[in-house]
Chains A and B, each alone.
Chain A
Amino acid sequence: MTQTRSPLARAVIYAVLVVFTIYNVLPFCWTILNSLKLPKVANSRTPRFLFQPTGEHYADLWLNMHPEDFAPYGLALLLIIFALVVIVFYAGRLPVPNGLIYAGVAAAGLALLLGLPRVVNTAEFYDYLVNSVIVTIGTLAVSLSFGALAGYGLARYRHVISVVILVLALAFRSLPSLALVLPFYYLGQLSGLYDTHILLILCLVAVNQPFTIWMLRSFFMEIPREIEEAAMIDGAGRLRSFVSVIVPIMGPGIITTGLFTLLLAYNDFLLARILTQINWTLPVGIAQWTGGEDPGHITLAAAGSVSVTLPILVVIIFFQKYLIRGLASGAVKG
């Protein structure tokens, strides 16, 4: 629409947007400050913005050993992570297929994550991180592979049955998840799957599947049929033309859907709270500090909050345009 030319109006608009931005990010900034305070300072009655920072809460959170003993390992860890980031950054210039490099880096990262507790004495919070990563990756892999097949089928098959399936999926999307998780809990208790990653992954996949097929279908609809028809004329079967021709073009659509799935799996609290007993994920681990009686809880919860949020913020900032595209497409029927 017409943009205003009045300098006064423009100044007011910018001012309002700046206030809105502060309102959006201030609580997280405040938590970063709290995570660096001594408990006495964090519990002060007047907000303190200047203080002597301390990293001890992060050490308490992640380590069962003296921070000084950890220092050499920490340095090695930082160097390895830095090397992996550099490899990803220059992947395009190396004479090796990019997919292979990304897969290798992902495998190295996973090995690092799972292997670290063998070398370093990590605290419980580290186990929650490992659980969260396993559950998130498992959910992503199952939901996206099954969802992509179904989304493609639903986009290409023009028949009332596709519409019926889509509307049923939308109905499933609206189910309060407690109606699903309580039977999962009960059956898990009987079958012995309670408190395992598999049960939680299955439940998250179930909750997520309707949304995944809706979103992936809408991305497949944008791809012209002629592309795979050409491949099929060249002799490729339908599945082969799907895997080798359609999926590579669908990269952005799959990343977008994957981001929403990742947020769902990583952020989930209710399902993990009900389906786990000791194999907690990060949100369940954080929730243990929601009671405010112990003055040490504020700082520990703050350090935990920052630790949980930073990885997700890094991922989102890196893939921001995909997330916004997904929201903007209005395809997010869920």
Chain B
Amino acid sequence: MPTRAFTFFVAPSLIIMLALMTLPLLASVVLGMHYITFRNLDAPLWVGLQNYEQALADPEFWDSLEFTLIFIAATVPTRIVLGLIFALLLDQIKRFRGVFIAAALVPFVMTPVVGTLIFRDMFDRGGPYWYWMQQLFDYRLFMDSTTVPLLIIFHNIWTATPFAMIVLFAGLQTLPQESLEAARVDGASWLRQLWHVAIPHLRSLFVFIALISIMDAYRVFDSVFVLTQQNPIFDAETIMYYNFQVALSFGRLGKANAMSILTVIGIFVVLIPFLVMTYREQVEEV
């Protein structure tokens, strides 16, 4: 394709990304250097780096980062392992595969606010899970600063496992048949086939799922909003949720912009190796 045609095709989308992403991002950096509340929206007060310093010195900011990191560490490996287990189980059967997969899509496609709401109802007093836990283990679940963070983590695993399962199941269908055949001829057990053929073949998919999962877990918001009911006593604020509160509940727009720029820097530090890797992969294909 000649360069002129390329410019013609790509320019509209590039202009969108520049005008609607790059400019707002730069605006955010600048807004972060101003003192802005709902009262002085049209007359922001220049304060230099003060908001950035305040954000970095804010213990709640670090608390929310800590919970976000715990959340990532708890959910990302779990969804990959569970996704692999269920993908392997699906791989073992032929009948009703479609039904099992369709059912798994339900928590995945459901509007997150709604999904969290109905998930919470299951654990609220009088809900089936609450009742069965009480009957079977004599445990009365009570929403407090231990259980609510756990429910936020569990909810995420509930909605995200199907994604990992479907991606890995599709990967299992494209295993190199010659290697499997060779393994079978050698009398390799299922476990050895898994370890020596399947897992190495799925490696790039693991990286892919981990990458998506880390990005999404880092910015989890909706489920925190619903499960904490905006009540601080549950001590389950994620970084996005705290940032949202600083902006809309406390009305400190300048500080909130500074915080969101800090979180952007945070995720980029983690992702740069992945971005470099993708760049190398793609350049090879050119």
Contact = CB atoms under 8 A, between A and B. Distances in A.
A170 B278 contact: yes
Contact of A167 (B172, B257, B282): B282
Given A167-B278, A171-B275, A182-B253, A10 B93 contact: yes
B137 interface: no
Nearest to B125: A45
Contact of B219 (A31, A171, A176, A304): A176
A202 B15 CA distance: 13
A17 B167 contact: no
A36 interface: no
B92 A4 contact: yes
A182 B104 contact: no
A33 to B, nearest CB: 10
A179 B14 contact: no
Contacts of B76: none
Interface residues of A, number: 110
B271 A3 contact: no
B98 to A, nearest CB: 8
B124 A186 contact: no
Interface string A300-317: 011011001100110011
A156 interface: yes
B121 A30 contact: yes
B128 A26 contact: yes
A102 interface: no
B157 to A, nearest CB: 11
B119 interface: yes
B151 interface: no
Interface string B98-111: 01111111110111
A270 B226 CA distance: 12
Interface string B129-173: 001000000000000000000000000001000110011011110
Contacts of A153: 1, 5-6, 8-10
B114 A206 contact: no
B109 A205 contact: no
A127 to B, nearest CB: 17
Contact of B180 (A1, A202, A302): A1
A178 B239 CA distance: 10
A206 B112 contact: no
A146 B13 CA distance: 5
Contacts of A172: 17, 21
A186 to B, nearest CB: 6
Given A21-B103, A25-B106, A290-B225, A179 B25 contact: yes
B210 interface: no
B219 A178 contact: yes
Given A324-B101, A327-B163, A206 B9 contact: no
Contact of B104 (A2, A21, A164): A21
B212 A3 contact: no
Interface string B264-286: 10011001000100110011001
Given A290-B225, A330-B170, 9 more contacts: A2-B193, A17-B93, A47-B127, A150-B9, A154-B10, A183-B25, A183-B31, A186-B31, A270-B244
Interface of B: 1, 3, 5-6, 8-10, 12-14, 16-17, 20-21, 24-25, 27-28, 31, 36, 41-42, 86, 88-94, 96, 99-107, 109-115, 117-119, 121-122, 124-128, 131, 158, 162-163, 166-167, 169-172, 175, 180, 184, 190, 193-194, 197-198, 204-205, 208, 212, 215, 218-219, 221-222, 225-226, 229-230, 239-240, 243-244, 247-248, 253, 256-257, 260-261, 263-264, 267-268, 271, 275, 278-279, 282-283, 286
